[in-house]
Structure 1
Amino acid sequence: MTIHIDERLEPDGAWRHEGCPIDAAVSVIGTRPTMLIIREAHYGTTRFHDFVGRTGLTGSVVASRLHELVQAQILATRPYREPGSRGREEYVLTARGEALLPVVLALAVWGSEQMLAGQWPVTVLDAGTGAAVALGLVEPNREVSGDSPLVFAPSPAGSALSGEETPARHRDGA
């Protein structure tokens, strides 16, 4: 499956630098330490020392990345206090962070299939039914066929772009 670029996005390539959603996402989540922390947050980890222990990262790296994720509104802090200890903060996913679940799952599946030759020791199941969960591209009412390319096109938010329908063009200009 390929992705074509709608001509309205292509003329000067500016969208690739100024408004590219992939660039915007990886600027926040695109490092190994950051993704390991996001993974752990989705597993339910909330406390600093647990992030350190479960990721294998140093405390200073974890502290820096947690701060960045709070600034990006992917995590939020919440106070807690263990009996007999001083108050501390724990880190919880925000709605923006929870929206990363499909990304985390897609990376896990890709890593298992492409990097670990299918040796990943777990599968993702629906807790309610016990059925294996498969990731895929879907339209509102059907699975997307791998036979036709996808098209990056201006969304309604891209109002500065022309509203005319124009044919899509492949990355290589075909």
Structure 2
Amino acid sequence: MTDPDEATCSLIKAVDLVGERWTFLVLREALAGAYRFSEFRARLGIASDVLAARLAKLVDSGLMTRRTYREPGQRPRDGYCLTEAGRQFNVVLCALQQWGDEHLPRTTSTVVYRAADGRPVRLRFVDDGGVVVPAGDVRPGPG
């Protein structure tokens, strides 16, 4: 680290934690309902050792937790469930997806819907009064 602020920068810490392709994809599948190792493996086509490492990192970081389950006639196995922090990561995934849909024209668009009524939703900056703020009018600063 060359910048002393890097040690405390939440953006750098977040990117260090989840900034790898497979980690994003594992979280995407977990948000879509996957929780078994075999489900992640089948949906993603990921090598078992890579998947095991990513799941261990997500558990260690508090984005997922292990829960034992047992199918009838089978031995107990670990399932991987999202924690509240993991469920909140949906905002990050949706923001990246929305950005990609708008700025990477060769990608396939995906619409995000409100679960209660099926209405499409979009991510936006909103001030504490509920007013949408254009992205160009937002600046980072010390909190």
TM-score when normalising by structure 1? 0.75
Instruction: Report the Cα distance in structure 2 between the residues aligned to 1:152 and 1:117, rounded to whole angstroms.
Output: 34
C-alpha distance 146-84 of structure 1, shift in aligned 2 (>3 A): closer
Match of 2:35 in 1: 46
The SS at the match of 1:27 is helix
Letter in 2 for 1:131: R
Greater relative CO, 1 or 2 (CA 8 Å, sep 6+): 1
Name the amino acid aligned to 2:63.
I
What pairs with 1:14-163 in structure 2 (closer than 5 Å)? 14-15=4-5, 17-117=6-106, 119-120=108-109, 122-141=110-129, 142-146=131-135, 148-153=137-142, 155=143
Gapped regions of structure 2 (runs ≥ 5): none
**Which protein is bigger by CA-based radius of gyration?**
1
Measure, in 2, the Cα distance between the counterparts of 1:147 and 1:79: 46
Q: Deviations over 1:73-110 (max 9, x none)?
A: 10000010001110001000001111211001111212
Question: 2:106 & 2:49 partners in 1: Cα distance?
Answer: 33
Q: Distance in 1 between matches of 2:102 and 2:115?
A: 23
Q: 1:81 to 1:127 in 2, by over 3 A?
A: same
Deviations 1:128-151 (A, max 9, x none): 222210111111221113453413
SS of the residue 1:151 aligns to? coil
Letter in 2 for 1:52: R
What's the C-alpha RMSD, in Å, of the aligned pairs? 1.7
Letter in 2 for 1:19: T
Task: In structure 1, list runs of 5 or more residues that go unmatched.
Answer: 1-11, 156-174
Task: Give the percent of matched residue pairs that are identical in Structure 1 and Structure 2.
Answer: 33
Contact 2:125 2:135 in 1 (8 A): no
Distance 1:84 1:149, change over 3 A: closer
CA shift for structure 1 position 25: 0.2
Deviations 1:2-50 (A, max 9, x none): xxxxxxxxxx9421x1111110001110000111001111111000011
- Please state whether the residue corresponding to 2:140 is helix, strand or coil: strand
Label 1:19 to 1:117 Cα distance change in 2 as closer, same or farther (>3 A). Answer: same
